[in-house]
Amino acid sequence: MTRPVSARVMLVTFESAQILDVTGPAEVFSTASRYLSGVAYEVAVASVGGGMVGSSSGIAFATLDIAGCRTPPDTLIVAGGRDMAEVVADRDLLSEVNRLAGGARRVASVCSGAFVLAAAGLLDGRRAATHWAECDLLRRTYPRVSVDGDAIYVRDGNVWTSAGVTAGIDLALALVADDHGRQAAARVARQLVVYLRRSGGQAQFSTVLEAQHADSEPIRDLVAWLPDHLGDDLTVGALAHRTHLSARQFSRVFRAETGSTPAEHVEAVRTEAACRLLETTQAPIDEIARRCGFGNPETMNRTFRRRLDTTPGQHRQHFGAPC
């Protein structure tokens, strides 16, 4: 079943909010209304006092006065931005968010907008996501919130929270999928030329991206080389040879600079590569296992169960592109 026509989405913003936190989700819902039959999201942007509101990029946009919005929206989404300590000190903003959240079918935040929901008490006892750089601060400031530092977005009951910036688009696509199904969300994603493949259970950072912060050039070069050579011999000895280090010295340096052992890193990169192929291709699982260096489906299956608590087949079923 689809949701009723004219489901109202209210995006709450403030001075110095990040503009993509507002415009990203707004464009998703607008595109859904244009391209999906029988779907009509009514998008409104509101702030305390209304009028023109500046963004962190210096671009201003018109908003409604949130106090004048007497009927709660179907979906309430709070943007994130700079100066969040000042934002959460705005008692009028918190009061209005609480009022509208009480009647909304679902409540969401993008990026550091989670701080607004937390300050309003809407995240107490719930799991939540926010921008990776703000996770520790959210934990310390609001200890009743269970912060997931890895997730692109988190759904806990009727409350949805997302990681930073473009993750708001992933969140909005997930909300469309929740309303009208994955096929509908996939059509919106295609119109926006974005991937419908990042899910709430997928990490904000890839293993390769994190390891690229290694200090020494040999380790950085090796990390960059690995994804294109997953079927090669990637034992410690072979990798040490490529960096012209002894196996013992290589293992020590690699762990010091990346935070993981060579074997752990290789397994993580192979798993991520397999996930991408499962999500974006119809290649047989045994072929993916071979291409990613697992050797056989049984080994890949055991790795998926241990690392992701799922199987390759289940991952494809949940995250794969529609046939």
Choose between 201 and 132: higher pLDDT.
132
Q: What is the pLDDT of residues 162-215, one digit of tens each?
A: 998 789 999 999 999 999 988 888 889 888 877 655 544 445 455 555 555 566
Q: Which of 111, 135, 275, 292 is catalytic?
A: 111
Q: What is the reported pLDDT for 190?
A: 84
Mean pLDDT computed over every residue of the chain: 89
| Separation between Cα atoms, residue 322 and residue 33, nearest integer Å | 20
Residue among 214, 217, 218, 262 nearest 236 (CA): 262
First-to-last C-alpha distance (Å) of the chain: 21
Q: What is the reported pLDDT for 77?
A: 98
* pLDDT(1) > 80: no
Q: What is the reported pLDDT for 5?
A: 47
Q: Is 275 a catalytic residue?
A: no
Angle of the 19-35 helix axis to the 167-180 helix axis, nearest 10: 30
Tell me the residue type at 285: I
Q: Which residues of 204-219 are buried (b: 16+ CB within 10 A; e: fewer)?
A: bebbbebbeebeeebb
| Separation between Cα atoms, residue 95 and residue 113, nearest integer Å | 15
* pLDDT(67) > 70: yes
| High-pLDDT (> 70) share of the chain, % | 90
Q: What is the reported pLDDT for 298?
A: 96
| Separation between Cα atoms, residue 108 and residue 175, nearest integer Å | 10
Q: What is the DSSP letter of 253?
A: H
Q: What is the pLDDT of residues 258-304, one digit of tens each?
A: 888 999 999 999 998 998 888 788 999 999 999 999 999 999 999 99
Tell me the residue type at 129: A
| Separation between Cα atoms, residue 308 and residue 277, nearest integer Å | 16
Secondary structure (3-state) at 147 = strand
Q: What is the reported pLDDT for 206?
A: 53
What is the band of 321 on the pLDDT scale with cuts at 50, 70, 90?
low
Q: CB within 8 A of 75, min separation 6: which ones?
A: 7, 8, 9, 10, 104, 105, 106, 107, 108, 175
* pLDDT(29) > 80: yes
What is the band of 52 on the pLDDT scale with cuts at 50, 70, 90?
very high
What is the band of 151 on the pLDDT scale with cuts at 50, 70, 90?
confident
Q: Which residues of 42-80 are buried (b: 16+ CB within 10 A; e: fewer)?
A: ebebbbbebeebebbeeeebebeebeebeebbbbbbbbb
Q: What is the pLDDT of residues 90-104, one digit of tens each?
A: 999 999 999 999 999
Query: Where is average pLDDT lowest: 78-82, 114-118, 149-153, 247-251?
Result: 149-153
